[in-house]
Amino acid sequence: MWERIIGVIMSPRETLRQTAEGELWKEGLLIILLTSVLKWLSQLAAPEQKLLGQLERLTGSPLQQYSTPLDSPIAAFFSSLSGDLISWALGGLLFFLFAKLFKGQGTIPGMLAGLGYASTPFFLGAPLMAVTSGGIAGYLLRSAIGFATAIWVAVLQIIAIRESQQISTGGAIVTFIIPGILLLLVLVFFILLITALILMAA
């Protein structure tokens, strides 16, 4: 698996085609889980969180007050993890179905495998965001790294769609954009629904 992760960075087209042909969706799922945990840890290790931790030790009192269970780091972890898993599974299904308009020939497991491996840049971007310095310069640098990583992942997802479904680049771009908007709306709906249910139960 690690050879293919490196391959996604060095030669994405060939590697993503191989993962789709091998229908390595279980490896794709593992990558989604690992990158989700890594992104969460990088947020905890951000300079702002480190500063709060140092101030808490100096003052002897907690500075971070969580007004609801939704504000806690554990809740943030499960929210991020569920969001990543829903995006991966539902996105793979939508991309697969929409690619049929362009005579897509791939499979759903192949699509999921490609999308999972397309998240590989987070293995680099998340740690870089965690080790940047504080202040305005650090914030701008982290924002730039996050934006660049997101664009990189989006490009790899388009390549994964093209290679797994055997369609043109233009068809892959359209397949990525339109279901992506629908997926975003569905995710927002689910997040609002889950938040409302938790608040009602609290």
Residue 82, in any domain of the structure? yes
Residue 63, in any domain of the structure? no
Residue 166, in any domain of the structure? yes
Residue 99, in any domain of the structure? yes
* Structure confidence by residue, pLDDT tens digits, 40-87: 887 776 554 444 444 445 555 444 444 444 456 676 677 778 888 888
Residue 121, in any domain of the structure? yes
Residue 62, in any domain of the structure? no
Number of domains, the chain: 1
Q: Which residues contact 22 (CB under 8 A, 6 or more apart)?
A: 113
Residue 139, in any domain of the structure? yes
Residue 8, in any domain of the structure? yes
The whole domain housing 50 covers: 2-56+68-201
* Structure confidence by residue, pLDDT tens digits, 1-33: 888 999 999 999 999 999 999 989 999 999 999
* Structure confidence by residue, pLDDT tens digits, 120-167: 999 887 777 766 656 677 677 878 888 899 999 999 999 999 999 999
